[in-house]
Amino acid sequence: MIYELSLHTAGIIVSAFLILIGLLGLLNPDFSGVVQRFPRSRVAGVILLTVCLLWTFWLVATIQMGEFSGFRRPLLIALPVGYVLVLRFVDEFLAVRALGILCLLAAEPLLDSAFLRYETSRLLITVFAYLLIIAGLFWVAIPYVLRDQINWSARSVFRWRCLHAFALIYGGVILTFTFRQY
C-alpha cells in the first residue's frame, strides 16, 4: 500500500468535498460565473499543476518500483523538466488538464482504502473514485469537455441547483455510512 488511508478517513474526505461543493452551488448560484472562468484560468492551472508535480514527485521518490527502480532518478529529473515545459508551451485549458491529472491522482487512495473491505457501502466511495478517473481522462485528453459541462450545468439556475443538490445528498449519504459502518 502506498497510502495509509482508512475507509473511514476516505469517507470523511469525500463527503466533506461533496458537501462543500453542494452547499456552495446551492447557496450561491452566482458562483457559476466564477466556475465558468475556471477552464481558462492561468493562475488556477499553475497552482493545480504544481500540486500535481509535488504529489507525483513524492510518489516516484517513495514507492517501491521493483525492477524499474533504475528509472527512479531519470523520472525525478524528467518531472520538473516536464513541468516547466508544460507551463511554457501548454496555454490552452491548463487548469482543466491539471484538474484532470489531480483527479487521476486522487482516485488511487480512494480505491486503495476500499480494497478488500466487505461493506457494500464501500461502493459509494469506489463509484466516486471511478467517476474521478473517467472525468480525469476526459479532461486531460479533451479539455474543452469541462467547459461544455460547466456551460450546460450553468445554463439555468434550476439545473445548477439540481446538480449541486445531488452532490450534497451523495456526500451526506457517504458521511452517514462513514460514521455508521466504517
- Tens-digit pLDDT profile for residues 125-172: 999 999 999 999 999 999 999 999 999 999 999 999 999 999 999 999
What is the spatial distance between Cα 86 and Cα 142, in angstroms, rounded to a whole number? 16
Residue 94, by phi and psi: left (phi above 0), alpha (psi -120 to 50) or beta? alpha
Residue position matching grid coordinates 517501491:
64
**Which one is predicted more confidently, 10 or 117?**
10
**pLDDT value of position 12:** 96
For residue 4, name the pLDDT band (cuts at 50, 70, 90). confident
Express each pLDDT in 54-102 by its tens digit: 999 999 999 988 898 899 999 999 999 999 999 999 888 999 999 999 9
According to the model, what pLDDT value does residue 152 have? 95
In which residue are the cell numbers 528509472 written? 71
Q: How confident is the model at residue 46 (pLDDT cuts 50, 70, 90)?
A: very high
Q: How far is Cα 14 from Cα 83, in angstroms, rounded to an integer?
A: 28
Question: What does the pLDDT read at residue 1?
Answer: 62
Give residue-wise pLDDT tens across range 25-38: 999 888 888 899 99
Answer yes or no: pTM beyond 0.85: yes
If 0-12 CB within 10 Å is exposed, 13-18 middle and 19+ buried, where does residue 162 land? middle
The stretch 31-57 carries a mean pLDDT of 94
